[in-house]
Copies of this chain bind each other. A is one copy, B any other.
Amino acid sequence: MKWTDLDDNWCPVARTLSLVGDRWTLLILRDCFLGLSRFDQFAESTGATRHIVSDRLKRLVEAGILEKLAYSDRPKRYEYKLTEKGQEFAPALIAFKDWGKKHLPVRRPTQA
């Protein structure tokens, strides 16, 4: 079974996962909450390939979680912002953060 087939599952958790149940998608959302909004920022911050960033942003916009806004007309440049629907995803990310802080302490510090 493919994961997008979960979109009309009886379970609201499954339906949510069919949209955002993938690590890169959730990392991009985290970045949005941290104030990032541009393609290159997402690519660098998450470590996902540009291909993936492109695909995930497209899905998130289609789902109404992010909106794509032009911040420059010449040259055309876009940024991505959380919609209200997206903002309301905060509790889930906070729950992930709390769980990670408590149960997954960093062993090796990231190379500064």
Contact = CB atoms under 8 A, between A and B. Distances in A.
B10 A97 contact: no
Contact of A103 (B9, B24, B85): B85
- A interface majority secondary structure: helix
Contact of A88 (B5, B49, B102, B108): B102
A111 to B, nearest CB: 10
Copies in the assembly, this chain? 2
A102 B15 CA distance: 11
> What's the interface size class on A, roughly?
35 or more
Contacts of A30: 11, 13-14
Given A103-B88, A106-B8, A110-B9, A16 B48 contact: no
Nearest to A25: B21
B108 A8 contact: yes
B89 A99 contact: yes
